[in-house]
Structure 1
Amino acid sequence: MAVREAAKLERCPWVGIGDPLYARYHDEEWGVPHADERRLFEKLILEGFQAGLSWITILRKRDAFRRAFDDFDAERIARYTPRDVARLMADEGIVRNRLKVEAAIENARAYLSLRETQTLASFLWQHGGGKPIVNHYAAFGEVPAETATSHALSKALKRAGFRFVGPTTAYAFMQATGMVNDHLIDCPRHAPCAEMQRTFTPPRS
C-alpha cells in the first residue's frame, strides 16, 4: 500500500515536465525555510525582476544575475553608479529593464539602512507572519496569488524603501523561502518542508 501511495505522489504542477533545472529548484529550494541573509536578499531582488515574467525565465538567468550583481553583495551594489547601470543594461544574460535595475540598487541601499537596526531575515520573518505557515491545498487552483500577510509584508518593505515588492511578489517570495508551505498535499515535498518548518525557529531582531 505504501509503495502504491508513494507512486501516486507527483510534483506541484507548476514545475511541468522535462526541465531538470525547474525540478531541482522545486525539490531542493522552494518552500525550504531559512534565514540566510545573502540568499534572502538575492531572492527578494530576483522576485522583483520576475514581475510580469515567469520564474523559470529568471531561474535560467540566475547565474548571469549573480555575476552581473557581484553575487548579490548589497554593499557593492549600493555603490553602483550610472556606469554600472549602463553595464547592466548592456548585459544580455539578465533581464534588461531599467526600472528593475535601478530598483535593485535602491533595494541594496534600503537593505543596508535596515541593517542598522535589525537583520533582513528578522524583518522579513517578523512581517511575514512571525512563523512558517503550512497550507494543505489539494489543487493548484486553490493556491492564492496573494494574502493578507503578503500585503502586510509588502507594505512593510515599501515603508523601508524597497521597490518592486507588491503583495503578489511578496507572496511568491514567502512561498519560495519557506515562510509558507504551498506544496500541494500530494506533492512529495509537502511533508519534508512541513517538518523543516515545524523545527525552524524564525530569527529575532
Structure 2
Amino acid sequence: MNRCPWLPPGLELYQTYHDEEWGVPSQDERHLFEMICLEGAQAGLSWWTILQKREHYRKVFHQFDPVKVAEMTDRQLEKLVADPGIVRHRGKIFGVRKNAESWLDLKSREGDVAEWLWKLVGGKPTVNRWKKMEDYPAKTPESEALSKALKKEGFTFFGPTIAYAFMQAVGMVDDHAEDCFRSRK
C-alpha cells in the first residue's frame, strides 16, 4: 500500500495519524484548537516529536478545552516548563493559554470559530496531488493569509509554514500524494 513520501517508514503512530487523520476535513472546534496549539508547539521541531507527546499535551491542557486552558494560572504553566512530557519551551507553553484566550475572544465575536476558519480558505479543501517530496510547498499565499488573520486575532507561534501544516492536518488542504492510497483521485 503506497503512502505519502513524507511519512517515515516503521513508525506505527505516525502511520495511523497519516491514515486516519491527516488531510481529513475537520469542523470540530476542539480538534481545530488542539491542532493550532500542537502545530505551534512543533515550530522548529518535527511533527514526530509532537505526535509522541500528544496524549500528554491533552492531559496537561485539559483535552484542549479553551475555557479551561484560558483559566490556567501562571503557576500551573510554570510547572509545565519542567514537564518532559511536552516541549519545555516557556513561550510555547504560555502561548497555549494565549491561544485559548484569543480563541474565546474570536468565538464571542464570530460564534462558530470552525466556520470562521474555513471561510478564510474558501470553505472547502484545496486538493493537490504531489508526486514527490520536492513538490510539497512549505507555505502558500493561503497559509500566509491564515497566519496573518490568526496573528491579528492574537494567536502565537502561527507563522505561514505552521499555518500550512495546520491546513494539511485539518483537511483544509488535501496534500496526499498522487499515488497514496488516501488520495481521492
Normalising by structure 1, we get a TM-score of 0.87
Q: Determine if the alignment matches structure 1 residue 127 to structure 2 residue 120.
A: yes
Deviation at 1:178, TM superposition (A): 0.6
Q: Which residue of 2 aligns with 1:113?
A: 105
Moved more, 114-123 or 93-102: 114-123
> Which one of 120, 130, 149 corresponds to residue 137 of structure 1?
130
In structure 1, the gaps of 5 or more residues are 1-8, 195-205
| Counterpart code for 2:79 | R
Aligned residue for 1:31, secondary structure, equals coil
Q: Which residue of 2 aligns with 1:62?
A: 54
Q: Contact 2:39/2:166 (CA < 8 Å) preserved in 1?
A: yes
Deviation at 1:184, TM superposition (A): 0.5
Deviation at 1:117, TM superposition (A): 2.0
Deviation at 1:29, TM superposition (A): 0.3
Deviation at 1:85, TM superposition (A): 1.3
Q: Which residue of 2 aligns with 1:95?
A: 87
> Which of the two has higher C-alpha Rg?
1
| Counterpart code for 2:78 | A
Deviation at 1:89, TM superposition (A): 0.9
> Which one of 168, 172, 175 corresponds to residue 179 of structure 1?
172
Q: For 1:47 and 1:25, how far apart are their aligned partners in 2?
A: 14
Aligned residue for 1:44, secondary structure, equals helix
Aligned residue for 2:71, secondary structure, equals coil
CA deviations 1:21-68 (Å, max 9, x no partner) are 000000000000020000000000000000000001000000010111
Deviation at 1:140, TM superposition (A): 1.6
Q: For 2:108 and 2:74, how far apart are their aligned partners in 1?
A: 26
> Which one of 73, 79, 83 corresponds to residue 65 of structure 2?
73
Identity among equivalent pairs (%):
53
Q: Contact 2:78/2:90 (CA < 8 Å) preserved in 1?
A: no
In structure 2, the gaps of 5 or more residues are none
Q: Which residue of 2 aligns with 1:150?
A: 143
- Report how many residues are paired: 184
- Cα RMSD (Å): 1.1
> Which one of 26, 45, 48 corresponds to residue 53 of structure 1?
45
CA deviations 1:144-188 (Å, max 9, x no partner) are 000000000001001111111100000000001110111111000
Detail structure 1 runs of 4+ shifted over 3 Å in the superposition. Answer: none
Q: Which residue of 2 aligns with 1:162?
A: 155
Q: For 2:130 and 2:81, how far apart are their aligned partners in 1?
A: 40
Aligned residue for 1:61, secondary structure, equals helix
Normalising by structure 2, we get a TM-score of 0.96
